[in-house]
Chains A and B, each alone.
Chain A
Amino acid sequence: SQTIHQWPATLVQPVGSPLSLECTVEGTSNPNLYWYRQAAGRGLQLLFYSVGIGQISSEVPQNLSASRPQDRQFILSSKKLLLSDSGFYLCAWSVGRGAEKLFFGSGTQLSVL
């Protein structure tokens, strides 16, 4: 069966510090991978999605970046965090195109202070 791992579960970082959140998927090949952010009082915002190694699409301008060094690994990074980067970050995966379900990780609660 397929599983998705996301860590850490919680993270408190000072403004200006770097960020690295990691997500891995097991039990499937060539998944589509996604990073979403959920800020307090706001909906789920798509940040990045990837259909293959090295293929990253960005949905919104920001100081975040994403990388996919391996087929089932997706990393969200920042060189310098802002207060506005606080939120609940969710990684998700799917297979195929168009009609597939989306499966989510358990999320990382990031607080930038």
Chain B
Amino acid sequence: KQEVTQIPAALSVPEGENLVLNCSFTDSAIYNLQWFRQDPGKGLTSLLLIQSSQREQTSGRLNASLDKSSGRSTLYIAASQPGDSATYLCAAYQAGTALIFGKGTTLSVSS
């Protein structure tokens, strides 16, 4: 059964710092991997989707990479801002089921 783990569980950085969030999954037979953002008490917003055949995806200051063979994905945030403060979740999609989520990394960016 697929398990998704995110490290660290929480992260505090000063504004302007570049940072990396980590995600690992146990079963490499995935169709895609997705990164989401969740603000407190809100639903999830999709940030990036990486197909199994892709190595990375970029959107603005965000860059997500995927290494299926090692079961890892990273989300890189450049020049962090206080507005980036939120919980970031990764999720792996496999055939015959739905997205399996990690527990998330809660990011706090101080000004």
Contact = CB atoms under 8 A, between A and B. Distances in A.
Contact of B43 (A59, A101, A106): A106
A102 B99 contact: yes
Size range of the chain A interface in the assembly: 20 to 34
Contacts of B98: 32, 34, 46, 49, 59, 102
Interface in A89-106: 90, 92, 97-99, 101-106
Interface in A33-65: 34, 36, 42-44, 46, 49, 59
A31 interface: no
A20 B49 CA distance: 32
Given A98-B31, A99-B32, A101-B34, A43 B45 contact: no
15 contacts: A6-B43, A32-B98, A34-B99, A43-B89, A44-B91, A44-B101, A88-B41, A90-B44, A98-B32, A98-B95, A102-B34, A102-B44, A102-B91, A102-B99, A104-B44
Interface of A: 6, 32, 34, 36, 42-44, 46, 49, 59, 88, 90, 92, 97-99, 101-107, 109
Interface of B: 4, 31-32, 34, 36, 41-46, 49, 51, 89, 91, 93, 95, 97-104
